[in-house]
Structure 1
């Protein structure tokens, strides 16, 4: 990644990151940075950083171009990127990227502590989520 993570927009989000296990926190901060970078390159407008279901969530509130992306640390370990389960983001990723990710149904890609996200097409998956509505001409989900 080229630049430092942007400052947190929300103290509650910063607190959630501070409470994450160290390995998950470092990796999720890397994914957070990637979300902001992809949003800029995809022209989706400002990203709103908030909490949804107690997890950091990233929304295209202004442009409404995409579905929300959430970050979390599952109870069984590792870390995850979640999207709305009624979108095709995960099934599209499964078709495009095959076993590049470990999937949880239609809602998440999972990473273990040893995962190196730079070796995955994660930026393309994030771009797919942040532009989902724009590409599918559907109302926000």
Structure 2
């Protein structure tokens, strides 16, 4: 596993620091997964890590291959990986894994913090987001 680059933007680093420790640990794991999937997926290019709506967000500014992916903590608890609600990213994911995940409509996959993350499925979701416009 390649080393994960440090968070360059101090505002993004502060957003991660503001999460509770258990949430932060899992969200940093999702960050690692996003960066790994981006690096191994042809056509994605450089990832920009920034804040959107106060949440860590991942964009493909050079290739414009993907839709923004955001990480956060929903009001219902746990953690979430968000996609643009007018895209089909979440509904396409649900079609592959019908009923396997808790969704927030077309905008997020909700994940508990007291269980292992389903990394293979989440890799698929992330790849779909990062290549949505290809």
Q: TM-score range by the shorter chain?
A: over 0.9
Aligned to 2:78: 78
Structure-1-length-normalised TM-score: 0.90
- Distance of 2:9 and 2:123 partners within structure 1: 23
| Deviation digits for residues 31-50 of structure 1 (CA, Å, limit 9, x no counterpart) | 00000000011121000000
Structure-2-length-normalised TM-score: 0.94
- Distance of 1:115 and 1:69 partners within structure 2: 22
- Distance of 2:66 and 2:119 partners within structure 1: 24
RMSD, aligned α-carbons: 1.2
Structure 2, unpaired ranges of 5+: none
What secondary structure is seen at the aligned counterpart in 2 of 1:109?
Answer: strand
2:116 paired with 1:116: yes
- Distance of 2:119 and 2:66 partners within structure 1: 24
Higher helix share: 1
- Distance of 1:61 and 1:29 partners within structure 2: 21
Alignment of 1:1-141 (within 5 A): 2-43=1-42, 44-118=44-118, 121-134=121-134
Task: Report how many residues are paired.
Answer: 133
